[in-house]
Amino acid sequence: MKLDGIGALVAGGASGLGEATARALVERGARVAIADLNEDRANELASELGDAAVAFRCDVTNEADVEGAVAGAVEALGELRFTVSCAGIGWAERTVSRRGPAQLQPFETVIRVNLIGTFNVLRLAAAAMSQNEPDEGGERGAVVMTASIAAFDGQVGQTAYSASKGGVVGLTLPAARDLARQGIRVVTIAPGTFDTPLLAALPEESRQALGEQIPFPSRLGQPSEYAALACHIGENAMLNGETIRLDGALRMPPK
């Protein structure tokens, strides 16, 4: 798929990995809809990116919100051919601690946002893409989802997060097979430890220590590196049904 001139949607696009992806897509000539729960930040970013970007308030777990963002993207951009789903949250709690069993509600919330929200974006974006005219290769669109290496190397306290991201990994191949007849690809990126707002609150010493755990390069990943891979997935038609670890060969220890 040629990114130049296409319409794209980035869910969770107002910060972190999503913001970097929105910027990278605009740099490559795409027109981008930024969908995010933080409406003010989404509008600020869209204003900064100029005529190539629009913004929508969107809770990925809300069917009407995602329907509205997808429909708005199609109306504003003329079509939707590429979607990157970056919205997500984390939660750390041991299955059983001194306080007793883990709370059920946070587990449900993490699953709802990270897994159900990702599927909500996938299904509605793919439905819109299915109406596109196929390109010369028969492709109507592509969806990039975001998992985590926690899907494979979940640490102590990461049951909710790892389960949610493992669900995204498990979703990838069957979704790609489902959508093959429509000419829509589905690929997931599983990032390692990245320099996102989630880690920005940590002391610099702690951030450096996290980076030093990575074999090479021994530093935190940059959101622009995630964005570069997301864009390449859009451009490479043979990438389909796969989860790609983006982690500098990191394998997370138990804690």
**240-249: b or e for each residue (b if 16 or more CB lie within 10 Å)?**
bbebbbbbbe
Instruction: Compute the distance between CA of residue 78 and CA of residue 7 in angstroms, rounded to an integer.
Output: 7
The active-site residue, picked from 56, 91, 161, 226, is: 161
How much is the pLDDT for 206?
A: 77
Predicted local confidence at residue 67, as pLDDT:
98
Res 201: pLDDT = 67
The sheet carrying 7-11 orders its strands as 53-57, 31-36, 7-11, 82-85, 141-146, 184-191, 243-246
Regions in the chain scoring below 50 on pLDDT: none
User: Would residue 161 show up in a list of annotated catalytic residues for this protein?
Assistant: yes
pLDDT at 73: 98
Bridge partners of 96, per DSSP, are: 101
Closest CA to 33 of 128, 111, 123, 117: 128
Q: What is the CATH number of domain 7-246?
A: 3.40.50.720
pLDDT at residue 204, as a whole number: 83
One-letter amino acid of 231: C
- Round to whole Å and give the CA distance between 214 and 17: 19
Domains in the chain: boundaries: 7-246
pTM value?
0.96
How far apart CA 226 and CA 13 sit, in angstroms, is 13
